[in-house]
């Protein structure tokens, strides 16, 4: 709403504009025109108006209306009040004078004036004042879909999309054939990120106005956003889905619980810690890179990559060669895990890579991953 100072300044500007109009319409003599020019200067000085500032004069202007038109409306309303023997002789404010049959012609004319004022504010991107102007029009005449549709558009531009949805729906309730109402509704839903509702609104609007290029483009944009949103939802937690698939025992997944409970593998782990093999394994650059990648991405190393990694295989062979002379006790410990691997019995890493149970789990893991990747597009 305007402050009292803004209202006074707009009234002063309206007087100046009327004096200009009187001169332009040749309503007074040349001498009179010179006097009015002096009067204009006095008014602008008194109200501290800069008539050379285009931005200020445009902001304060009543155009496309003028003071004489406003005065005509006032006089017509005053005459109507006097003819009906009204005891209230005060100035008529912006409240509607609706009758049982609906708004009067005078109210409709004033509402249209407010609508035009709102449209002017929209062209200036002054959406707050545009909303106020459309609201005044609705207060006078509440049965016109265009007023609600225009206010819905202004609400959307102002970022109040929920109010825009309500106004657009009200406009369509008043006039279901008002195609722009669907356009306003689609824009409001789009602003809220409700792309399906936006697409539905644009589709309904195009049923009434098939050639509307704006709604056609808006419909394609809403469909594109909807498709992108669906893809994003499906791919929202791939790491979580992979973890769930690999943790279960069914469906060809990798059974981590069975791995941790396998006594043969646990014996190998204990043996590696006892003979320094674990320290050697963790100091290997390839293993360090795999561990760093797991910390950064949360992705477990590929078993196939581990088995085909030349550095890991060289380390396994080196450990196997260096431990070849001490196969007695270690071989006994490993015999329960791999009874046929006497050459690798003293090397925990070699036994790990040759363990049938672990290799069977690795194959299930890789088959499960290959089978699960086909569902994502």
DSSP state string for 122-137: HHTT-HHHHHHHHHHH
**DSSP H or E segment with residue 167:** helix 161-174
- Sign of the alpha-carbon dihedral angle for 191, 197, 202, 205: negative
Which tokens belong to 103? Answer: 């708004």
Give ∠ CA 289-292-293 in degrees, rounded to 5: 85
User: Along the 377 residues of the chain, how does pLDDT read in single tens digits?
Assistant: 678 887 888 888 889 888 888 888 888 888 888 888 888 889 888 888 888 888 888 888 877 777 777 777 778 777 777 766 545 444 444 455 554 567 888 999 999 999 999 999 999 999 999 999 999 999 999 999 999 999 999 999 999 999 999 999 999 999 999 999 999 999 999 999 999 999 999 999 999 999 999 999 999 999 999 888 777 666 555 544 444 544 444 444 445 555 556 666 666 666 666 666 656 666 667 667 776 666 666 555 665 666 667 766 666 666 555 444 444 443 433 433 344 334 434 454 555 556 665 666 555 544 544 444 443 44
Can you tell me whether residue 102 is helix, strand or coil?
A: strand
Q: What is the C-alpha separation between 156 and 161, in angstroms, rounded?
A: 5
First CA to last CA distance, the chain: 53
Query: Residue 288 — φ and ψ, nearest 5°?
Result: -65, -40
Tens digit of each residue's pLDDT (9 = 90 or more) over 326-376: 444 434 334 333 443 344 344 545 555 566 656 665 555 445 444 444 434
Give the per-residue pLDDT at 373: 40
Which single residue is written with the structure tokens 């729906």? 169
* pTM for the model: 0.41
343, 320 Cβ separation under 8 angstroms: yes
Q: How far is CA 367 from CA 122, 193, 246, 301, in A?
A: 62, 40, 11, 15
167, 180 Cβ separation under 8 angstroms: no
Which single residue is written with the structure tokens 């009543």? 62
């Amino acid at each position: 709403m305007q402050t009292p100072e803004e209202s006074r300044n707009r009234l002063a500007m309206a007087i100046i504009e009327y004096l200009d109009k009187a001169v332009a319409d040749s309503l007074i003599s040349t001498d009179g025109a010179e006097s009015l020019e002096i009067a204009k200067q006095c008014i602008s000085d008194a109200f501290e108006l800069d008539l050379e500032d285009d931005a200020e004069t445009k902001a304060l202007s009543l155009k496309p209306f003028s003071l004489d038109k406003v005065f005509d409306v006032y006089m017509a309303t005053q005459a109507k009040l006097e003819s009906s023997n009204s005891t209230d002789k005060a100035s008529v404010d912006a409240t509607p004078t609706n009758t049982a049959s609906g708004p009067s012609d005078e109210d409709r004319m004033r509402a249209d004036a407010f609508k035009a004022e709102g449209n002017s504010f929209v062209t200036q991107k002054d959406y707050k004042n545009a909303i106020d102007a459309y609201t005044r029009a609705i207060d006078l005449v509440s049965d016109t879909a265009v007023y609600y549709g225009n206010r819905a558009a202004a609400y959307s531009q102002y970022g109040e999309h929920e109010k825009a949805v309500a106004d657009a729906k009200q406009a369509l309730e008043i006039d279901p054939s008002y195609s722009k109402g669907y356009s306003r509704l689609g824009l409001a839903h789009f602003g809220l990120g409700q792309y399906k509702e936006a697409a539905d609104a644009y589709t309904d609007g195009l049923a009434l106005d098939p050639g509307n290029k704006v709604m056609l483009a808006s419909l394609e944009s809403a469909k594109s956003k909807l498709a992108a949103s669906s893809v994003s939802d499906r791919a929202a937690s791939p790491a979580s889905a992979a973890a769930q698939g690999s943790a279960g025992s069914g469906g060809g997944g990798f059974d981590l619980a069975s791995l941790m409970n396998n006594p043969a593998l646990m014996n190998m782990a204990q043996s590696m810690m006892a003979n320094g093999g674990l320290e050697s394994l963790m100091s290997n650059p390839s293993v360090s890179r795999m561990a760093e990648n797991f910390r950064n991405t949360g992705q477990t190393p590929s078993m196939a990559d581990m088995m085909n990694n030349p550095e890991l295989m060289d380390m396994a062979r080196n450990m196997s060669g260096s431990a070849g002379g001490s196969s007695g006790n270690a071989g006994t410990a490993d015999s329960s895990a791999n009874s046929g691997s006497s050459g690798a019995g003293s090397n925990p890493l070699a036994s790990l890579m040759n363990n049938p149970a672990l290799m069977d789990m690795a194959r299930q893991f890789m088959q499960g991953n290959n089978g699960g990747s086909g569902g994502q597009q």
